């Protein structure tokens, strides 16, 4: 409204994740990502959190900075040497390849990165499938080029986050990837998010948030069969239709 004269250098830290029920566990990043003018950041590692926070603080636009309570006690596992004491910045909007692979791409948002890494380890060890894992790190802005390059190599992509799947930003990403890489994809992007419920009590969260078995079952049902895999969860088209009819 000011024609870019007024600045709003505000960084809002938002803690989501688990253990506190519906009011504090829901990942509502898609709500703010829908609002033009807001930047939305969601790091999953200490190294990324520091670099992205420094970049956010140097800007003149409002930034909503999501943090997951689920990983507050997880140290730096990806950056050799841990988190540097010196100042550094990570540009907003640049996803990071956390694991290189050749058979399937998994794009992760937030704390689900660690669940995805567990799934990638099992895919490699048990099924000899090489997984490329990409950590989104930001939702708005977002550079799709590294993701499209990965899809050109693997031909398949699954997207995962702790947000409920209905209306999640994963669906926006999946639709954009399908448009940009239609000819490179061997099948449609597959989304694995949380259940479309109100977040339950902590004791029931294992039935709500995505875990390794969900990812493996979704790959087995929708992307390619995993030899010898016994699915525990139904990711079929019929089950998707049934749940949408019920609104869950």
As annotated, the active-site residues are 24
SS3 for 17?
A: coil
- Contact status, residue 210 vs residue 117, Cβ threshold 8 Å: no
Question: What is the C-alpha to C-alpha distance for residues 119 and 113, in angstroms, rounded to an integer?
Answer: 10
Contact 138, 151 (CB under 8 A): no
Distance in angstroms (rounded) separating the CA atoms of residues 196 and 218: 17
Distance CA 150, CA 132 (A): 7
* CA end-to-end span of the chain: 39
Tell which residue, 60, 3, 7, 61, has the closest CA to residue 32.
61
96-99 and 104-109 strand pairing: unpaired
Backbone angles phi, psi at 222, to 5 degrees: -115, -15
């Amino acid at each position: 409204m000011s024609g870019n004269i007024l600045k709003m250098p505000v960084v809002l830290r938002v803690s989501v994740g688990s253990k506190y029920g519906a009011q504090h566990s829901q990942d509502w990043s898609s709500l703010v990502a829908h609002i033009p003018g807001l930047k939305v950041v969601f790091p999953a590692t200490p190294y990324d959190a520091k670099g992205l926070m420094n970049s956010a603080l140097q800007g003149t636009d409002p930034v909503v900075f999501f943090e997951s309570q689920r990983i507050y006690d997880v140290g730096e596992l990806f950056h050799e040497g841990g988190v540097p004491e010196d100042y550094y910045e990570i540009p907003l909007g640049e996803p990071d390849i956390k694991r290189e692979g050749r058979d399937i791409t998994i794009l992760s948002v937030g704390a689900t990165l660690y669940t995805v890494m567990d799934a990638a380890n099992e895919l490699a060890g048990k099924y000899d499938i090489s997984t490329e894992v990409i950590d989104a790190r930001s939702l708005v802005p977002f550079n799709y080029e590294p993701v499209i390059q990965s899809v050109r190599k693997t031909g398949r992509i699954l997207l995962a986050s702790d947000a409920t799947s209905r209306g999640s930003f994963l669906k926006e990403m999946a639709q954009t990837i399908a448009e940009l890489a239609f000819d490179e994809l061997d099948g449609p992007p597959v989304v694995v998010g949380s259940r479309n419920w109100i977040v339950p009590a902590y004791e029931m969260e294992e039935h709500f948030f995505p875990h390794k078995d969900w990812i493996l079952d979704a790959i087995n049902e929708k992307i390619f069969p995993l030899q010898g895999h016994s699915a525990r969860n139904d990711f079929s088209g019929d089950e998707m239709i049934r749940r949408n009819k019920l609104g869950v």
